[in-house]
Amino acid sequence: MLGIVVAVLVLCSVAAMPYPEFQTKSYKIGIEYEHSLPMSAGADRFRHRNNYDPFFITVTARAKKGYVLDYLEVDVTADLGAEIDFCLTYGRVGGQSMVFQISANQSDFINYTYRAYGIREADFDKVNGASLGSLC
């Protein structure tokens, strides 16, 4: 009888604990063309004890040889009350690399995934030349 009471108390206490709540923000930079191919991708998760100090994570996405980056997708997950910021610090659409920085404040952890897409350099020049042809 005592075992059943203890088991019920344990189940009730586990059921009464609040589940952690998270928020996910998505960022997209560039234009995804019809023939875009995946160039690089990555994901990581960081934790720290003092959640009042912000996280600063800097990531570099690179294109393969003969290709340029045209589209970048980044998903960032942190605690519900966290302040998440995203900034492209170096690079541009049509370049060989893009460097972006993610920062999160008031969170015990940060989880990010990114996917970079590219297109052949010659194809990008054709598309870019066609769209900017009247301005040159």
Please report, as a single letter, which amino acid is at residue 123.
D
Cα-to-chain-centroid distance, residue 38: 15
Hey, is 6 helix, strand or coil?
A: helix
Report the domain count for the chain.
1
Decide: pTM greater than 0.85: no
Instruction: Write down the pLDDT at residue 14.
Output: 55
In the DSSP assignment, the letter for residue 49 is S
Instruction: Write down the pLDDT at residue 115.
Output: 94
* 8 inside domain: no
Instruction: Write down the pLDDT at residue 82.
Output: 84
* 68 inside domain: yes
Range of the domain at 126: 18-131
Other Cβ atoms closer than 10 A to 129: 10
> Which pLDDT tens digit goes with each residue over 25-58?
999 998 888 888 888 888 888 887 766 678 888 9
- Reference 89, options 77, 78, 102, 79; nearest CA is 102
Instruction: Write down the pLDDT at residue 35.
Output: 81
* 26 inside domain: yes
> Which pLDDT tens digit goes with each residue over 82-116?
888 999 999 888 899 999 999 888 888 889 999 99
Backbone angles phi and psi of 32, in degrees to 5: -85, 115
- Return d(Cα 74, Cα 68) in angstroms, integer: 18
